[in-house]
Structure 1
Amino acid sequence: MIKIKTLEEIELMRESALIVSKTLGVLAAEVKPGVTTLQLDKIAEEFIRDHGAEPGFLGLYDFPNTLCMSPNAQVVHGIPNDTPLEEGDIISIDCGALKNGFYGDHAYTFEVGEVAAETKELLKTTKESLYVGIREFRAGNRVGDVGYAIQQYCESRGYGVVRELVGHGLGRKMHEDPEMPNYGRRGRGKKFVEGMVVAIEPMINLGTHRIKQLRDGWTILTADGKPSAHFEHDVAIVNGKPELLSTFKYVYEALGIESNEEDEFRQKVAAS
């Protein structure tokens, strides 16, 4: 069942989402050759706790860490370890936080030093597809409209769209209804209404859409060993339109990137 949020609840969710956004911003300055994903995980846990929240992933479904850290051909759910990142790697960092009884859940795929041109293009397209999907998340549209938009944008450029893993509703639980696939047909699926909050998260592969799972029970890999990218935002429907609760602003500040990509999704309608 879809749980509709009040404006006051949406503002509480924005607090949780922004803690995750700020955590990703802190990590952006630390992602470099030689650092281990366990070191990044420790930084994230300390930052989240220091800001009055709890790590949203730690212990969730028995996951052992604060961050899902998925380099290169790992799609999602990678477990932090002692292996140093190397020049040319990419790494998806997926982070969650729980504050005021609500979750934030937010992801960004980082470049480690200089990466291959075709990998850069994969990251660019995946992030663009996130906003393509968000534009469809408005009152009266349906789940299939978001999935269709993301799928068409990515497949038309030759990329594989992961089927088995999807975005989701968000709230007092990390995973709520509705599921938000990155593929679909227009006009199909549950209808979007005022007060819905979801996590939209394209997971796009350089090669095949097919995936496999490691024996650790968590880590998802591309079936052909080619790189995968993952970007995620938390979005609410306010006044019938998509309103971003999370932001990449802190990542961009750390990396020296200028962007206005989020402006169209900022209504500035915070509850009084």
Structure 2
Amino acid sequence: MQVENEVIAITGSARGLGYAMARVLGRRGARLALLDREREALDQAVNALLDEGIEARSFVADVAEESSVEQAFSDICRELGPVSGLVNNAGVTRDGLLVKAANGSVEKKMSLSHWQQVIDVNLTGTFLCTREAASQMIESGKPGVIVNISSISRAGNIGQSNYAASKAGVAALTVTWAKELARYGIRVGAVAPGFIETEMTAAMRADILEKLTHGIPLGALGQPDDIAQSVAFIFDNDYFTGRVLECDGGLRL
């Protein structure tokens, strides 16, 4: 799919990976609809893109809320036209062990609220945004591309029951939707990042970050642009669908 002049929505795009994706696709001529919960950060991102000559507009939305997603995509369609592309990038972590015990006594358990927050944003948010985007693509009669952001953690990772489950779910949805939507000319792919240099990793303790980096065969954290280029590949390759593209420096959890 040639993205030039096509409307592409990107969730969680005010900063980090989402912003990097916006820049890469915007530089190829895409007309961007940036979605995020934080109005100030979102407007800053849009203004920075506009300064580069990239067409972008901001849409405040909570991907975990059905009415918010429906309104945002309705607004996108009215202001820019129906979407031809979607990147489901919005995500959160609430890490913690399922149970933490010492000397046979349970000291702490993962709370239901932490479980539900991650599932709501990472999994339900992906479902809601894809449903609205696919509906617009079908009704416009144009082919489209949907890219989901999974994770290396989808295979399971200590301290990430909620996150791993959500990202495994995203991978499964990618295959399911690729099969369901192919008849409408819609391709669905996913990218599974490894450990990327973002605000989240920058906040980690130096010793933990060093140990983490040492375990990556390429010996370094990935850059947001690495993931953005992977997303762009899926848009570009018209025979790619129903698969998860891993970009993790050779690391396997």
Q: TM-score, normalised by structure 2?
A: 0.33
**Structure number with higher strand proportion:** 1
Larger-Rg structure: 2
**Structure number with higher helix proportion:** 2
